[in-house]
Amino acid sequence: MTPRRRKFWGWGYEGEGLTAEELALIARLAAARLGLDELRAQNPPDISDIALRRPRVTPPAAIAAFSSAEPWDRAEHTLGKSFHDLVRGLRGEYANPPDLVAYPADENQLTAVLEWASDGRIAAIPFGGGSSVAGGIEPDVGDDYPGAVSVDMRRMGRVLEIDRASRAALIEAGALGPALEDQLRPHGLTLRHFPQSFEVSSLGGWIATRSGGHFATLHTHIDEFVEGLRVVTPRGVVETRRLPGDGAGVSADRFFIGSEGTLGVITRAWMRLQDRPRFRASASVAFASFEDAWRAAREIALSGLWPANCRLLDHDEALLSGSGDGSRSILIVTFESADHDPAPWMARAAEICRSHRGELPEAATSRSGDGAAGLWRSAFIRGGHLHDAYVRLGLVQDTFETAITWDRFPEFHEGVLEATRHAIEEQCGRGLVSCRFAYVYPDGPAPYYTVVAPGRAGAELRQWAAIKEAASDAVLRLGGTITHHHAVGRYHRRWYDRQRPDLFADALRAAKRALDPKGVMNPGVLVDP
């Protein structure tokens, strides 16, 4: 059977996506919400319309045997999935294609690629699912490099070993979300790490970007599930010891978690697993005031109840996602367990919500994700396709996410909204910026903002860049992080360089030189050699 081919532009696989009716519906809803007459969708690009620069390097036969320089493969590995990527892709602007895409099936092949890259000073870009929204996989490496190879890990995607006693598994880094879960399901186990990009993102990509997954509290990032890992660097292999906890100095695992392909290629990891949950309790609570809603979320985060989901949608976010009518903020709280009925935890969370004027009729908690929670979930799962639709409709649509401590949140939120709204108005005349909390910690939330505004044909990227700059400047100025889970990549470098202490940058550079002396691993990301 021929494997499904991933789209070279847009989200997911060929033949999949929104239907014409769904696209028309989104166009009508977006036009109504933005007060526009009509929105027309542009067709996705065809591969025959894409002119790629000729490959500049030729690999030795041993590497060519598992590599491709076909236009589809090169186009698919040129752009990630941010607004900036999607607009350029739709316009047929593929300025930085890799010269070659290598698909190593094992560490020997991978090592051969990295040695060839190091010897020829060819940029090597690790590639998992290519779902980066931070410019992490684009071979935009400047003229210092005679060529670039995208190192796609899809052929290393197996669950190699399961340790039932410790409830952990050794998993190859190229496993995409669904294939990874398919291999764990027969054992009654799950990694339970479900970023919105789950369908087309990989374990290696999650670890390399410190992705945020299913759990809104406690185990929010993939970091918490890594028990040990193995990385192939241009200097050789680093393998850490798998341990439930470790106090032996600076953590080698943490050193590679979040390294974004700049130090080497993560090839496999021992991951802590979960039993599949059997019990669930969920509620959607409406709040007339956003302030009441976030104060309730804060109290739940401080309570030690640790809900699996504690997602707050502000009025606009509830409206945009179809979970509400825009007159209320909605807090979705869910508890799950493989071991016990979480109803008492749910009852206590409901009590907290009511004490903050949350509207939750008696017995409104449910054991499944129906109601507003269900509506929000289906919009969430279709997120990748929705982004494509917005771009095809000529809208400026972007998301940015951060984290901030509670004491500074009110001022921070107001300042970020004001700066973003001002930029939207200046650039687009009108538009919306909405907010949700994807994660909440005892000491602060991780707010996630979505911008939707009308684009001017041909000027969408300039409009987007000005809004992104205003929002990112405000986030940094007011004390937040440039990213909570979307990674630094190339797009956030400017702000990351300001956020990161200078001496730490020196230390990171020195570490990179030790592992990657020729500076070929993902140049331009995180730190310059």
Ligand X SMILES: Cc1cc2nc3c(=O)[nH]c(=O)nc-3n(C[C@H](O)[C@H](O)[C@H](O)COP(=O)(O)OP(=O)(O)OC[C@H]3O[C@@H](n4cnc5c(N)ncnc54)[C@H](O)[C@@H]3O)c2cc1C
- What does the binding site for ligand X look like in residue numbers (CB under 6 A)? 80-81, 125-133, 136-137, 153, 173, 195-197, 201-202, 204-206, 208-209, 211-212, 260-261, 265-266, 383-384, 387, 485-487, 489, 522, 525
Q: How far is the CB of 415 from ligand X (least distance, A)?
A: 24
CB of 30 to ligand X, least distance (A): 17
Q: How far is the CB of 173 from ligand X (least distance, A)?
A: 4
Tell me whether residue 101 or residue 281 sits nearer to ligand X (CB atom). Answer: 101
List the 236-239 sheet strands across, edge first.
159-163, 168-172, 265-272, 226-233, 236-239
The nearer residue to ligand X, 358 or 523, going by C-beta atoms, is 523
Q: In angstroms, give the least distance from the CB of 177 to ligand X.
A: 9
Shortest Å distance, C-beta 473 to ligand X: 22
Half-sphere exposure of 332 (CA within 13 A, CB side): 26
Question: Toward ligand X, which CB reaches closer, 342 or 444?
Answer: 444
Q: How far is the CB of 207 from ligand X (least distance, A)?
A: 7
Counting Cα atoms < 13 Å in the Cβ hemisphere of 443 gives 3
CA dihedral 140, 41, 384, 458 (to 10 degrees): 30
Rounded to whole angstroms, how far apart are CA atoms 512 and 124? 14
User: What is the rounded CA–CA span in Å between residue 516 and residue 408?
Assistant: 39
CA pair distance 322, 232, nearest whole angstrom: 45
Write down the least CB distance from residue 267 to ligand X, Å.
Answer: 7
Q: Which two tokens stand for residue 491?
A: 């797009």
The distance of closest approach from Cβ of residue 50 to ligand X in the complex, given in angstroms and rounded to an integer, is 20
CB proximity list for 496: less than 8 A, separation 6 or greater: 482, 483, 488, 526
Note whether 12 and 48 are within 8 A (CB). Answer: no
Residue 45 or 204: the one with the smaller Cβ distance to ligand X is 204
Residue whose CB is less far from ligand X, 264 or 454: 264
Residue 119 contacts residue 95 (beta carbons within 8 Å): no
Adjacent-strand bridge partners of 127 = 152
* Tokens 């526009």 found at: 36
Min CB(111)–ligand X separation in Å: 14
Report the alpha-carbon distance of residue 446 to residue 441 in Å, rounded: 8
Between 117 and 419, CB nearer to ligand X:
117
Between 111 and 211, name the residue whose CB sits nearer to ligand X. 211
End-to-end CA distance of the chain: 44
Taking the least distance from each CB to ligand X, the nearer of 122 and 125 is 125
- Cβ contacts of residue 519 below 8 Å, gap of 6+? 121, 512, 513, 529
Nearer Cβ to ligand X (136/480) = 136
Amino acid at 525: V
Q: Which is nearer to ligand X, 353 or 446 (CB)?
A: 446
Give the number of residues written for the chain. Answer: 529
Nearest 5°: the CA angle 360, 287, 293 is: 110
Q: 3-state SS string over 381-438? A: HCHHHHHHHHHHCCEEEEEEECCCCHHHHHHHHHHHHHHHHHHHHHHHCCCEEEEEEE
Instruction: Count other Cβ atoms within 10 Å, centred on residue 111.
Output: 18
Q: Least distance (Å) from ligand X to the CB of residue 335?
A: 20
Largest CA distance in the chain: 69
Q: Minimum distance between the CB of residue 422 and ligand X, rounded to whole angstroms?
A: 27
Of 485, 450, 399, 464, the residue nearest 207 (C-alpha): 485
Looking at beta carbons only, is 155 or 408 nearer to ligand X?
A: 155
Cβ(176)–Cβ(199) below 8 Å: yes
Least CB distance to ligand X at residue 436 (A): 12
For the record, the structure tokens of 361 come out as 């009729």
Nearest CB to ligand X, comparing residues 222 and 353: 222
**Coil, helix or strand for 224?**
helix
C-alpha–C-alpha distance, residues 305 and 346, integer Å: 9
Give the CB-nearest residue to ligand X.
205
DSSP string, 226-248: EEEEEEEETTEEEEPPP-S---S
Contact (Cβ atoms closer than 8 angstroms) between residue 369 and residue 1: no
Residue 45 vs 384, nearer CB to ligand X: 384
Residue 455 in tokens: 């684009």
Q: How far is the CB of 206 from ligand X (least distance, A)?
A: 4
